[in-house]
């Protein structure tokens, strides 16, 4: 697989969408989600131990909004780095999609949770499952939690503000965790919800909403979006030392020499790389 050096970085021309890997100042990058502290601490320990950032961040070339890599961005900031390796894409490319994560709650029962949910002070009511899904799709409610038979819908104080909607759903998620329930993230909602299991669903964002919130300096709660990118570069393994430099042009030159010395292997969609399965094609630097 061939790499193409450009003035602004390295371009992977065989990808399904144009991708240029380059060095960007941290202050030019805009996160759109808060981070999970446990995940951030684990990542920071790994970076300090390896002394390299294994994978580049992924961001919109025009606005600097980070589509993937919010935890890496915060970790670099806390390590007093000035720069980051970034795979730059055109967020408006129709091949890039915004999906959502579903929350799977094990051993939860709606009847048992109802009193505690009421104490959150949220506007909520029981609803039939089909009606609840329609209300969520039309953004008439902020979130829906459901079991095999019924649903509870939660209204947002300001339904026109997507950030408000996600803060409402995050309050519900936080309550469930504080109750000691197991909450995991899945990319698809189960067609049939297993017994003693609940599913928490949120609204689905549009790209312009992500850009607007990130550009305003506000942040959605963690795991608000799930960006599907047709092609993803991995394994660039950039030394952290380069990311502390004050001159991005020096780090950029080092990055280009570094990438040119590596082989690039295309891995087809649905493959497992490391410990994660990728729905998209992967371009792995080796």
Domain ranges of the chain: 4-97+211-285, 101-203
**CA angle at 191 for the pair 185 and 192, rounded to the nearest 5°:** 100
For the cut 90, the answer to whether the pLDDT of residue 270 exceeds it is: no
Give 154-169 pLDDT, tens digit per residue: 998 887 899 999 999 9
Q: Report residue 143: phi and psi, to 5°.
A: -160, 160
Contact between residue 165 and residue 157 where contact means Cβ atoms under 8 Å apart: no
pLDDT of residue 1: 40
CA distances from 247 to 33, 51, 57, 77, 215 (A): 28, 19, 19, 16, 25
CA distance 220 to 174: 14
Please give the residue that has the higher pLDDT: either 278 or 99.
99
Using the CB atoms, write b or e for 15-27: b if 16+ within 10 Å: beeebbbbbbebe
pLDDT of residue 276: 83
Domain 4-97+211-285 has CATH 3.90.1530.10: yes
For the chain, the three-class secondary structure string (H helix, E strand, C coil) is: CCCEEECCEEECCCCCCCCEEEEEEHHHCECCECCCHHHHHHHHHHHHHHCEECCCEEEECCCCEEEECHHHHHHHHHCCCCEEEEEEECCCCCCCEEECCEEEEECCCHHHHHHHHHCCCCEEEEECHHHHHHHHHCCCCCEEEECCCCEEEEECCCCCCHHHHHHHHHHHHHHHHHCCCEEEEECCCCCCCCCCEEEEEECCCCHHHHHHHHHCCCCECCCCCEEECCEEEECCCEEHHHHHCCCHHHHHHHHHHHHHCCCEEEECCCEEECCEEECCEEEEEC
Tell me the average pLDDT across 252-258: 96
pLDDT of residue 2: 40
Query: Which residues are bridge partners to 11 per DSSP?
Result: 4, 20
34: which residues sit within 8 A by CB, 6+ positions away? 70, 219, 220, 221, 222
Tell me the average pLDDT across 221-249: 97
Tokens of 138: 């039309």
Give 66-120 pLDDT, tens digit per residue: 999 999 999 999 999 999 999 999 999 999 999 999 999 998 899 999 999 999 9
Domain 101-203 has CATH 3.30.70: no
Instruction: With cut-offs at 50, 70 and 90, classify the pLDDT of residue 13.
Output: confident
Does this model's pTM top 0.85?
A: yes
Query: Which residues are bridge partners to 41 per DSSP?
Result: none
Q: Which residue, 112, 70, 279, 102, is CA-closest to 184?
A: 102
Give 180-216 pLDDT, tens digit per residue: 999 999 999 998 999 899 999 999 999 999 999 999 9
- How high is the mean pLDDT of the chain? 94
Helix axes 110-118, 162-178, angle to 10 degrees: 120
Tell me the average pLDDT across 247-264: 96
Tell me the average pLDDT across 41-60: 98
């Amino acid at each position: 697989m061939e790499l193409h050096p450009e003035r602004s970085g390295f371009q992977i021309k065989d990808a399904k969408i144009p991708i240029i890997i380059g060095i960007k100042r941290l202050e030019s990058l805009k996160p759109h989600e808060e981070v999970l502290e446990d995940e951030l601490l684990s990542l920071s320990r790994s970076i300090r131990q390896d002394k390299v950032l294994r994978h580049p961040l992924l961001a919109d070339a025009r606005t600097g909004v980070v589509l993937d890599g919010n935890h890496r961005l915060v970790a670099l900031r806390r390590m007093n780095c000035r720069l980051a390796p970034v795979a730059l894409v055109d967020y408006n490319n129709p091949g890039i999609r915004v999906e959502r994560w579903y929350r799977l709650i094990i051993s939860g029962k709606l009847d048992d949770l109802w009193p505690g949910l009421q104490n959150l002070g949220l506007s909520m009511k029981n609803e039939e499952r089909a009606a609840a899904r329609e209300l969520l799709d039309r953004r008439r409610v902020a979130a829906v939690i459901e079991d095999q038979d019924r649903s509870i819908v939660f209204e947002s104080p300001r339904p026109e503000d997507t950030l408000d909607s996600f803060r409402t759903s995050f309050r519900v998620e936080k309550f469930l965790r504080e109750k000691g329930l197991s909450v995991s993230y899945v990319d698809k909602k189960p067609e049939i919800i297993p017994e003693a299991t609940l599913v928490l669903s949120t609204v689905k964002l549009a790209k312009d909403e992500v850009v607007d919130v990130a550009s305003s300096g506000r942040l959605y709660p963690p795991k608000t979006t799930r960006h599907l990118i047709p092609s993803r570069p991995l394994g660039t393994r950039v030394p952290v030392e380069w990311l502390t430099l004050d001159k991005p042009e020096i780090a950029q030159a080092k990055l280009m020499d570094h990438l040119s010395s590596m082989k690039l292997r295309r891995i087809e969609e649905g493959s497992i790389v490391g410990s994660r399965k990728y729905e998209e094609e992967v371009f792995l630097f080796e």
